[in-house]
Amino acid sequence: MNLEMQQFKAEFFKALAHPLRIRILELLAEGDKNVNEIQTLVGSEGSAVSQQLTVLRAKNIVTGTKEGNKVIYTLKDPMIIELLAVARQIFNNHLVDTITILDKFKEEEDDVLTQSKN
C-alpha cells in the first residue's frame, strides 16, 4: 500500500510539473472555464492549453463536461485549491529565508567596509 501511495503521489506531482498546468489550475480554482476562456486568460495558444488540459484530465485532476459546443473544465477535487495555497506559502517561506540570508550578507559586507575605512 505504501508503495502504491508513493507511486500515486509521484505521478500526481509529475502531472503538476508544468507552469502552464499550474496556471490553468489556479484559474480553475477561481471557477469553471472553457478552453477559450483559459486560453485568453493565460495568453497562450489554444493547442498548448488543450495539450495541458489533456494531461490534467488523464490524471483525473480536472474534468470536462460538454455544454453545447463547449467543454467546461472543473477541478476534480477542491483540495487542489488548498494544495496550490500551500505551495504558494512554501514559496513565500523560501523567499523570506532567502531575504534573511541576503540581509545577513549585506550586514556583514557593511561591517567589512566600515572596518576597512577605520
Alpha carbon distance 46, 49 (integer Å): 5
pLDDT at residue 27, rounded to an integer: 97
CATH 1.10.10.10 fits 1-77, yes or no: yes
pLDDT (tens digit per residue) in 71-103: 999 999 999 999 999 988 988 888 877 888 877
- Contact residues for 56 (Cβ-Cβ < 8 A; gap 6+): 15, 21, 24, 25, 62
Please state the domain extents for the chain: 1-77, 78-118
Residue 68, all three cell numbers = 453545447
pTM assigned to the model = 0.77
pLDDT interval class at 1 (50, 70, 90): low
pLDDT (tens digit per residue) in 31-63: 999 999 999 999 987 799 999 999 999 999 999
Alpha carbon distance 19, 27 (integer Å): 12
